[in-house]
Each structure stands twice: as structure tokens, then as C-alpha cells.
Amino acid sequence: MAKQSGYIKLEGTMGDLTFYKNRDGKFIARRKGGVTKKRIQNDPRFQRTRENLKEFAEAAASAKFLKNAFREIELKSNGGKLHNRLYSAAMKVVKSDSVSPRGDRKFDLGDMTSLLRFEFSEKASMRNVLKVKTTVLDEPTSVTVTIPALVPSKFLLFSEGSKFYRFSLIRAAINFAEQDYYTETATIAPLPIINLPAAQVSLSLPKPGVAGEKYFFALALEFFLDVNGNQYDMNDVSQNPAIILSVS
């Protein structure tokens, strides 16, 4: 694989070369060819490759499932690389499955606690936007997140035009075996970004305890415009952080 240089950027196929633009906006040239799909599927020498491909597919499917489960966050915090970053995190979970043989390791049998502190936005991390420390009370039947009292104009990092902010706790309940999920949200009304103290915020959601379900709790922070007394989304994915705080 090589990068294209010069003023003229090509896309398409020419001879045995393929030219394309990747997700980062860079123009790439790649030579066609390599091992055939049939050989990879049947040649004993590619057994390790087949095992890797199965686990890559397992991680990719799990990453897509998590992204869909947190659709509300994806819409507001995805800077364009969320799937790839979730895939990388999911691959670590798949490899942590200590029960299944290589090639058959499963996401839901791995150590999903490695997803703790996963930041949905690569451009806005919670620790950089929220300048106070949150506390998480992770109990057998519920999760409670507390944001201490703060002066919004001093302890929030926000872009020009932001007038209000809001915290939300989102729980994704996922059954990987049945490929099913549902979400629940605890939130507050948008609060003004002013130079006066705002009260402590506590958000809590239960763990339903349904057999086969895994629970992922994420804290999200959003910012809003104010137009004639109404709040509107900033639609700035580089500003809205969200982070996974509990997995059970």
C-alpha cells in the first residue's frame, strides 16, 4: 500500500493497481492480487488465518452491536472513528475468552470490563471537558453516578455559542446470544452555563438482572444552543463526550 502524491488524485482501478480515498481523506494506491479466497478457506496452511478471520468477524459484529445499542450516543459523539475504535476494544474482549478454542472465542465469554472508561468520542474526552471528578456507586441492583456541585463556566470546557449543558446516564442491556438489546436513560433538564454554582447532580438506573443480559452504563455530556428561550443541539460531535463507567 502506498500514498498518492502530486496534484492529481486517482480513484478506481488501473491494471493491477487500485486507487481510493480512505476514511482519513488520504489517497491510497494498492496492488491487486494475493492469495485466493478459495485457498484461504481450504488450504491447511491457512488454518491460523481462518481462525483469525472468524475472530475478527466476531469482534466486528460485537462492535457494531454495541454501537447500535448506544445509538443515542453515537449520533452525538461519533467523530467518524467510533466503529474502528470499538472494534479494537471488542477484539481485546474476544481474545480474553479463556474457555473457547482459538478461532471460536466469543465476545460475550470474554472480559468485558476492559471496556470500562471507553470514550465514545476521539475528539472530546470526559476528563478534558468535565473538570471535576465524578463518583460511581456500582451496586448489585443499580448504578448511580454523581457529579459534584460546580460553576459551569469554570469547570466545563465548551465551544463558543454553547449556552446550556445536560448530563445523562444511559444503560444498554444486551443479550449477545439472542442478538437483542434495549436502552434506558436517566437525564436532567438542560442547565445554563453561567458563572454561578450549580447543584450536585445524581443519576441512577437499575440493573434488571435478567438472565443472559449484560449491562453497560455510560455517562454522556451534551451542549446546547439557546434561541429565543429554546434549547437546540449544537450538532458538534467534537464537543460531546461520553464514557462507559460500569459493565456487569
Tell me the pLDDT tens digit for each residue of 24-43. 667 666 666 566 677 666 66
Instruction: Check whether residue 136 and residue 181 sit in a common domain.
Output: yes
Give pLDDT tens digits for 74-124: 988 887 889 999 999 999 999 999 999 999 999 999 999 999 999 999 888
- Domain edge (last residue) among 112, 139, 158: 112
Q: Classify residue 220: in a domain, yes or no.
A: yes
Is 95 part of a structural domain of the chain?
yes
Q: What rounded mean pLDDT belongs to the chain?
A: 88
| Domain finish residue from 79, 112, 145 | 112
pLDDT reading at 158 higher than 70? yes
Whether 239 and 132 share a structural domain: yes
Angle at 108 between CA 243 and CA 82, to 5 degrees: 35
| Number of folded domains that form the chain | 2
Structural domain harbouring 37:
2-112
| In a shared domain, residues 75 and 142 | no
Give 51 or 110, the one with higher predicted confidence: 110
Q: What is the pLDDT of residue 118?
A: 97
